[in-house]
Amino acid sequence: MLGTGDSQILDRALAALIEQLEGEQESAALAALPYEDDPDLAWPVVPGPDLPYDGEVPAEVLRLAAKRRRRS
């Protein structure tokens, strides 16, 4: 059918399902217990200088950010 063995198709489908389920679980965990509410993670931060960055934002970073925005 796809020029691939049945076991390889099944392996890919299971890997895709696992990735999707893990993403959903991570999103649910962050929604239930946001970082901002965790006293061990949300300590006061003294503002410092911005980090210098003179280059263009890499295309891959922009693509990943757009993909994440579409998911949420």
- What tens digit of pLDDT does each residue of 6-55 get? 999 999 999 999 999 999 999 999 999 888 888 888 788 788 888 787 88
Name the pLDDT band for 2 (thresholds 50, 70, 90): low
Q: Is the pTM of this model over 0.75?
A: no
- Alpha-carbon distance of 70 to 58, in angstroms, equals 19
Q: Which residue did the predictor score with more confidence, 66 or 53?
A: 66
Evaluate the CA torsion angle 42, 65, 32, 19 in order and state its sign: negative
Q: What pLDDT was estimated at residue 40?
A: 85
Structure tokens at 67: 């993909």
Answer yes or no: are the C-beta atoms of 41 and 35 closer than 8 Å. yes
Q: Which of 18, 33, 24 is nearest to 72 (CA)?
A: 24
Q: What pLDDT was estimated at residue 3?
A: 79
Q: What pLDDT was estimated at residue 46?
A: 83
